[in-house]
Amino acid sequence: MDQVHEQKCAACGGPLRFDPETGKLVCDYCGTVYEIGEQEEPQAEDTLEGYDFDQLSAHAAAENAEGLPIYNCVSCGAEVIASSQEMALTCPYCGNNIVLTEKVSGNLRPDGVIPFKITAKVLPQVLKEFYRDKKLLPKNFFNDSRMEKVTGVYVPFWVFSGHLSGRLQFKGEKSSSRRSGDYIITDTKHYLVGRDVSMDFKDLPVDASGRVEDELMDSLEPFGMEDVKPFDMQYLAGFTADRFDRAREDMAERARTRMNNSATSLARSQVTNDFSGVRLVGGKLQADLKARYLLFPVYLFKLKHGKQQYSFAVNGQTGKIVGSVPTDKKVSWQYFLIRAGICLGAVLLIFFVKYMLGR
């Protein structure tokens, strides 16, 4: 098996890229269009037992001074340095889109991918709409800013489904009051309430890469599972991709916690219907989980305004954008004054009306 697979046009040898608009592979040089799966994908022998991260880099031809693996570009022969997570990238010398096959083989092969659905072309418009209703922006902020280079990256996720079952114990109270002469007597009875839990969970995503901010990724959700396609290297053409660097078992723990929390709060809300002062006092839940290793499409870019930089991420399937909004101190101060003025005006008006009515 070759270490490097290049996404190359069979007709002219030009670099191929996956086109989100058509969902096909396109050669920008000669215009040839390929269906996904039409070009042959090198079939990996399952040589990688388990996934020993250290062992992986040993498969590369050599290492650079910092210990990063070096690959040789098949097209131009240049040495390409990849981080240990990168599995798809563009050769900086000849522009060919390459996949590091050992990182998508055997146990490292993703189960599926949500291909990019929106193109990078629409991002300026998405950004413009994001800023449209932000009130505290510095004047002319958008026009004075510059969008830095956009990277489309497939971010690895563990997506968990499974069944949660068990029994939870709550303590609850029921109170009743009655009057007896000058006293009000309250009787409180305490109950131990058991609740059986049996819940199915489907497609709970947990970001499997330590290289992207968790909170940023959480806010990009949801990703629609209806677009998951069986993995094919060709979806990666023209984009970068990272393989997971957080083990499935560690992330399963996080998924379990999320499932436990939502099951517990659901059970608690049911108990609260009948009792007051409800408290969880015991119980045990067991999760039976299955994980899929999926790649989700994300655009990352920075917006530069003067010396400031603002980071953005866009869901490459839905166009949902998350990022920071600068607030102009002068503008927000004015905004505060206007609001304070309105409040003061309203208070004065009330006094005035009261005064008039009182006369």
Contacting positions for Zn ion (CB under 5 A): 9, 11-12, 14, 27, 29-30, 32, 73, 75-76, 78, 91, 93-94, 96
The CB-of-240 to Zn ion minimum distance in angstroms stands at 15
The CB-of-255 to Zn ion minimum distance in angstroms stands at 40
CB of 68 or CB of 280, closer to Zn ion? 68
The CB-of-99 to Zn ion minimum distance in angstroms stands at 13
CB of 6 or CB of 207, closer to Zn ion? 6
The CB-of-64 to Zn ion minimum distance in angstroms stands at 16
CB of 241 or CB of 295, closer to Zn ion? 241
CB of 89 or CB of 313, closer to Zn ion? 89
The CB-of-75 to Zn ion minimum distance in angstroms stands at 5
- Answer for the pair 301, 130: CB distance below 8 angstroms, yes or no: no
CB of 1 or CB of 30, closer to Zn ion? 30
The CB-of-61 to Zn ion minimum distance in angstroms stands at 14
- Tokens 């497609």 locate to 203
Contacts of residue 76, defined as CB under 8 A and 6 or more positions apart, other chains included, come to 91, 93, 94, 96
The CB-of-71 to Zn ion minimum distance in angstroms stands at 10
The neighbouring-strand residues paired with 39 are none
CB of 90 or CB of 317, closer to Zn ion? 90
- Tokens 């304070």 locate to 340
CB of 9 or CB of 108, closer to Zn ion? 9
Q: What is the largest CA-CA distance in the chain?
A: 100
